[in-house]
Structure 1
Amino acid sequence: MFLGFTNATTIDKETSESRRIIYPKSINYNIPYLQRNFVAFKEALAFKESQGNYTVVNSLGYLGKYQFGRTTLERFRIYDTKAFLKNPELQEKAFIALCKVNKWILRKDIQRSVGKTINGVKITESGILAAAHLSGAGNVKIYLRSNGSEGFADAYGATIKSYLKKFGGYNVSIIEANIHATV
C-alpha cells in the first residue's frame, strides 16, 4: 500500500522529451512487528554469532549457533563437542543456562547500571547479558564499574560497547538468575 507520492521529471536522452514520474514517498510492505522479547533477543544474538547455524565452528574454535567456548561448555558438563554441534536442543538449553548464570553473576551490576548511559549507550539488562555472552561476566563487571573506561574486544573486534548497544532494549525478564543453572 502506497502511503504518499512525490513527483519527479526525467528527460529521455534520445528524444529530449520530458516525462513525469510519480514515486511513492514510502511503501508499507505489511512487515510484521517483531516483539523485543527473549526469543527475539536470542535469535538476534545467534544471528550475530553464527548466522543462526547450529553446526558452525569458527576459526578460533567457538562452537554452534551461539558460539560457545569449550570451557563454557565444560561448566555445563558438556564435553563431546561433535555431539553438541549435532544437538540444537542442547545448544538452546546451554544458552538459556548461560544467561541464567550470567544474570546471577551480574545481578548487582544490572541493578546499579540499567538506565544509565555509558559512552553514549543506554544500559539495559539485555545488553548486559549479550555483552557477558561475548566477553564473560567478569569483563562486563569491569566495563560497567569503570564507567566504560576499561573495555574489551574479541579477536574479531566486537566490543562490550557494541553488544550493549546492538542488543539493548529486549525484555529478558523471563530469565531467572541462577548460579546453579544446568542443561
Structure 2
Amino acid sequence: MKRWIGFILHLAMIVILTSFVSYTTPKKVDYKIPNSLKTRINVETLVLEEPLEIQEDDLVTPPFLGNAYNGFKEALAFKESQGRYDVINTLGYLGKYQFGVGTLKLLGVNDSRNFLNDPVLQEKVFETNVARNKWILRRYIKLYNGKRIRGTVITESGILAAAHLAGAGNVKKYLRSYGKNDVADAYGSSISYYMRKFSGFDICSIEQKRNAKI
C-alpha cells in the first residue's frame, strides 16, 4: 500500500512540474538577403566561348570617344554587349549592337550566323538602322529636339538610341504622351533611360534614308 502511495505521489509531482513548461511551435523565419548582397542589374546570360562579365552601369563606363557618331555608337554598343561582336543573349539578340533576327531581315540580312561572324557587316547594319530610324522619326526629331520630358532634354541621339532599343513606333508613342507611354525591354532598360543616357551626341554625319537596306 505504501508503495502505491509513493508511486502516485511521484507521478503527481511530474504532472505538476510539467504543467509549468510551455511548448511553442517554432515559427518559420523568413531570412532576407541583405541589399549589399543583391545584384542591382539584370545580368544577361550570354552564349560565348568564354564568360563575359556584365558590370553595373554606375561602376563601369565605356571609353569616352567623343560626342560625335563614333562616340555614340560605341557607347550604345557598350551598353548592349560591352562591345563584343560574338554575343548572343538569352532572347536571341545578336552581336555588338544586339539586333533581332526580324530587324536584320528588314535591313536585308538573312544569314544570322554570317552576321555574327562579320564585324564589318555589324557596323554597316547599325549605321543603316540609324539612317532608317532617322527617316522614320524625322518629324519627331524636329518637333521634340531640345524639349524637356520628365526632366530629360530630348535630343536626336537620345531619340535614335531609344528607337534602337524599343523601335521607332514606341518612341513616337513615348514622345506624343510626353513620357507616359514608357516601354522597357526584357532586362528593364526603358525608353526614358536611353533618352537620358544617350542624350547630346552629334550624329549629323549619318543622313536619314527612306527604307534603308544593306
Alignment deviations for residues 97-126 of structure 1 (CA, whole Å, 9 cap, x no partner)? 000000000000000000000011000000
Consecutive unaligned residues in structure 1, runs of 5 or more: 1-31
**Structure 1 residue 121 and structure 2 residue 152: aligned?**
yes
**Structure 1 residue 143 and structure 2 residue 162: aligned?**
no
Alignment deviations for residues 52-80 of structure 1 (CA, whole Å, 9 cap, x no partner)? 00010000000000000000000122111
State the partner residue of 2:164. 133
Q: Residue 139 of structure 2 aligns to a residue in which SS?
A: helix
Alignment deviations for residues 130-169 of structure 1 (CA, whole Å, 9 cap, x no partner)? 0000000000000001111111000000000000000000
Equivalent residue letter for 1:106 = L
Distance 1:34 1:42, change over 3 A: closer
State the partner residue of 1:101. 132
Q: Residue 88 of structure 2 aligns to a residue in which SS?
A: coil
CA distance in 1 between counterparts of 2:128 and 2:205 reads: 12
Calculate the aligned-residue CA RMSD, in Å.
Answer: 1.2
Equivalences for 1:3-152 in 2 at 5 Å? 34-152=65-183
Equivalent residue letter for 2:102 = T
Q: Residue 179 of structure 1 aligns to a residue in which SS?
A: coil
State the partner residue of 1:154. 185
State the partner residue of 1:16. none
Cα drift, residue 175 of structure 1: 1.2
Cα drift, residue 34 of structure 1: 4.0
Distance 1:92 1:34, change over 3 A: closer
CA distance in 2 between counterparts of 1:160 and 1:91 reads: 23
Cα drift, residue 182 of structure 1: 2.1
TM-score, structure 1 normalization: 0.81
Equivalent residue letter for 1:163 = Y
Alignment deviations for residues 67-94 of structure 1 (CA, whole Å, 9 cap, x no partner)? 0000000012211111100000000000
Q: Is this contact kept in 1: 2:130–2:206, CA < 8 A? A: yes
State the partner residue of 2:15. none
- Please identify which structure carries the higher strand content: 1
TM-score, structure 2 normalization: 0.69
How many residues are paired up? Answer: 152
CA distance in 1 between counterparts of 2:157 and 2:76 reads: 10
Q: Residue 85 of structure 2 aligns to a residue in which SS?
A: coil
Equivalent residue letter for 2:84 = N
Equivalent residue letter for 1:178 = K
Q: Is this contact kept in 1: 2:64–2:71, CA < 8 A? A: no
Q: Is this contact kept in 1: 2:67–2:201, CA < 8 A? A: yes
